[in-house]
Amino acid sequence: MRLFTAASATQVPGDSYDDREWATVLRENVKDGLVDYGHLSGHREPLDGYLATVAAVGPKSTPALFKSRRDKLAYYINVYNAGVLAAVLYEKVPPTMFRPGSRGLEHGYQMLIDRAVWTLRDVREAARTESLGDARVEFCLCDGAEGSPPLRDQSYRPDTLEEQLREAAQAAMDNARIVQVDHENQRLNVALVIRQRRAEFLDFYRRQTGSGSATLLNVLLHMSSNVRRQWLNTAVGYDEGALPFDRDLNRWRSPEQESP
């Protein structure tokens, strides 16, 4: 299935790139890392406008607009997150985007991106490629689940990208769904996103620090804030463990909706 068609892309000239509509989507609908899909469903024009823009322009079809690695990486991160929101709306905001029998979020939907048909997996891999091994990019890609890295309420921008990567990693270290210390069982438990990309995180740490060896705890300490490092240091010598992945949709609910 295709979430966005070529016909829509013809409405946007291919000689400029502007992410202000995407910034509007994030500012108006993201609250505490969760998404107000109810509001987004009734005010989706900025999202559709941004998707029309990225359908017409991108690093491959309009390379003059994306000259630096940071230009490309910010583009792919934003496109991935926008594509996930479009998929959720396409499915009419289900309880989860991770359902048995489906092709999955990253393979089950197609979009017109950069004048070609892409899956969300294609976009994720492009972001990884442009990151040049910066594993922190994993914390910038939100796949619509409570257990995934939270969605930021600001667009990723080339001129602030390094700071945003650092902030995303620190926020992940502070997130109990991503990192937990279990003193009772002496285990350092981490989310699936870290376990699946463990080698990449270790390589990132070695390049950043010049160290010849690394443990997962070294990596987490390196990405943490000073306060969080003190807490993580209590896990020295602990075994590594896995946190369950919460597949529930990352849906924001008002206090009234949360009340029993």
Q: What digits encode the pLDDT tens for the residues 55-105?
A: 999 999 999 999 999 999 999 999 999 999 999 999 999 999 998 767 789
Is residue 246 a contact partner of residue 146, using CB atoms and an 8 Å limit? yes
Backbone torsion region of residue 182, taken as left when φ is above 0, otherwise alpha when ψ lies between -120 and 50, otherwise beta: beta
* Average confidence score pLDDT of the chain: 93
pLDDT at 7: 45
- Does residue 259 surpass a pLDDT of 60? no
Work out the average pLDDT over 40-64. Answer: 96
pLDDT cut 70: percent of the chain above it:
92
> Within a 10 A sphere around the Cβ of 154, how many other Cβ atoms?
14
- Closest to 233 (Cα-Cα) out of 247, 242, 222, 244: 222
- Does residue 51 surpass a pLDDT of 60? yes
- Kindly report, residue by residue over 20-31, the tens digit of the pLDDT: 999 999 999 999
- Does residue 2 surpass a pLDDT of 70? no
User: 68: which 2 tokens?
Assistant: 């630096």
- Kindly report, residue by residue over 182-238, the tens digit of the pLDDT: 999 999 999 999 999 999 999 999 999 999 989 999 999 999 999 999 999 999 999
pLDDT at 254: 81
- Does residue 257 surpass a pLDDT of 90? no
pLDDT at 80: 98
Q: How far apart are CA 245 and CA 43, in angstroms?
A: 30
- Does residue 48 surpass a pLDDT of 70? yes
DSSP letters spanning the chain: -BSS-HHHHTTS-TT----HHHHHHHHHHEETTEE-HHHHHH--HHHHHHHHHHHH--TTT-GGG--SHHHHHHHHHHHHHHHHHHHHHHTTS-SBS--TTS--TTTS-EEEETTEEEEHHHHHHHHHHHHTT-GGGGGT---SBTTSPPPPSS---GGGHHHHHHHHHHHHHT-TTTEEEETTTTEEEE-HHHHHTHHHHHHHHHHHH--S---HHHHHHHHS-HHHHHHHGGGTTPEEEEPPP--BB-B---HHHH--
- Does residue 44 surpass a pLDDT of 60? yes
What are φ and ψ of residue 206, in 5° steps? -60, -45
